Amino acid sequence: MSLTILKFGGTSVGSIKKISNVAKLIKKHYTKKNKLIIVSSAMSGVTNDLIKKSKQISKNFDKFEYDVLLSSGEQIACALLSGALLDIGLKSRSWLSWQVPIITYGDNKSSRIVSINKKEILNYINSGGIPIVTGFQGISNKKRLTTLGRGGSDATAISIAKFFNADNCIIYTDVDGVYTTDPKLTKKAKKIDKISYEEILEMASLGAKVMAPSSVQDAMINDIDINIKSTFTNNDGTKIYNNQSKFNKNPITGIAFTKNESKITLLGVVDRPGVAASIFKPLADNQINVDMVIQNISANTGLTDITFTIMRDEVKNCVKILKDNKKISYKKIIHDDNVSKVSIVGAGMITTPGITYRMFQALAKKKINIMVISTSEIKISVLISQKNIKKAIQILHKEFDLD
Using CA atoms, how far residue 120 sits from 113, 162, 361, in Å, is: 18, 17, 58
CB neighbourhood size of 337 (10 A): 11
Contact pick of 11, 47, 140, 388 for ligand ASP (by CB under 6 A): 47
Q: Which does 11 bind (CB under 5 to 8 A by kind): ligand ADP, ligand ASP, Mg ion, none?
A: ligand ADP
By CB under 6 A, is residue 11 in contact with ligand ADP? yes
Rounded least distance, CB 47 to ligand ASP, Å: 3
By CB under 5 A, is residue 207 in contact with Mg ion? no
Q: Which does 47 bind (CB under 5 to 8 A by kind): ligand ASP, ligand ADP, Mg ion, none?
A: ligand ASP
CA dihedral 42, 48, 51, 56 (to 10 degrees): -130
Question: What's the CA gap between 189 and 161, in Å, rounded?
Answer: 30
Using CA atoms, how far residue 161 sits from 72, 82, 313, 322, in Å, is: 23, 20, 33, 43
Q: Which does 150 bind (CB under 5 to 8 A by kind): Mg ion, ligand ASP, ligand ADP, none?
A: ligand ASP
**Helix (H) or strand (E) run with residue 156 in it:** helix 153-163
By CB under 6 A, is residue 238 in contact with ligand ASP? no
- Range list of H helices, 175-332: 197-205, 213-221, 275-285, 315-324
Question: What's the CA gap between 145 and 100, in Å, rounded?
Answer: 13
Q: Which does 73 bind (CB under 5 to 8 A by kind): ligand ADP, Mg ion, ligand ASP, none?
A: ligand ASP
Strands, sheet with 254-270, edge to edge from the N-terminal-most edge strand: 293-295, 303-311, 254-270, 332-345, 379-385, 372-376
Q: Which does 152 bind (CB under 5 to 8 A by kind): Mg ion, ligand ADP, ligand ASP, none?
A: ligand ASP
3-state secondary structure of 309: strand
In the complex with ligand ADP, the residue whose CB is nearer, 191 or 335, is 191
Rounded least distance, CB 200 to ligand ADP, Å: 9
Q: Which does 254 bind (CB under 5 to 8 A by kind): Mg ion, ligand ASP, ligand ADP, none?
A: ligand ADP
By CB under 6 A, is residue 254 in contact with ligand ADP? yes
Question: What's the CA gap between 226 and 240, in Å, rounded?
Answer: 5
Question: What's the CA gap between 118 and 102, in Å, rounded?
Answer: 9
Q: Which does 251 bind (CB under 5 to 8 A by kind): Mg ion, ligand ADP, ligand ASP, none?
A: none
Q: Which does 158 bind (CB under 5 to 8 A by kind): ligand ASP, Mg ion, ligand ADP, none?
A: none
Cβ-contact 245, 262 below 8 angstroms: no
Binding range to ligand ADP, per CB under 6 A, among 17-25, 168-176, 284-292, 299-307: 168-176
The residue count for the chain: 403
26-45: contacts with ligand ADP (CB under 6 A): 41
Mark residues 144-173: x for contact with Mg ion by CB under 5 A, - for none: -------x----------------------
In the complex with ligand ADP, the residue whose CB is nearer, 45 or 128, is 45
Mark residues 12-41: x for contact with ligand ASP by CB under 6 A, - for none: -----------------------------x
Question: What's the CA gap between 261 and 268, in Å, rounded?
Answer: 23
Three-class secondary structure assignment of 59-97:
CCCCHHHHHHHHHHHHHHHHHHHHHHHHHCCCCEEEECH
By CB under 6 A, is residue 73 in contact with ligand ASP? yes
In the complex with Mg ion, the residue whose CB is nearer, 151 or 346, is 151
Mark residues 8-37: x for contact with Mg ion by CB under 5 A, - for none: -x----------------------------
194-233: contacts with ligand ADP (CB under 6 A): 203, 208-210
Contacts of 8 (CB under 8 A, 6+ apart): 22, 38, 39, 40, 41, 81, 172, 231
Question: What's the CA gap between 362 and 364, in Å, rounded?
Answer: 5
The residues that touch ligand ASP, with contacts defined as CB under 6 A, are: 9-10, 41-42, 47, 73, 135-136, 150-154
The residues that touch ligand ADP, with contacts defined as CB under 6 A, are: 9-12, 41, 151, 173-175, 178-179, 181-184, 203, 208-210, 254
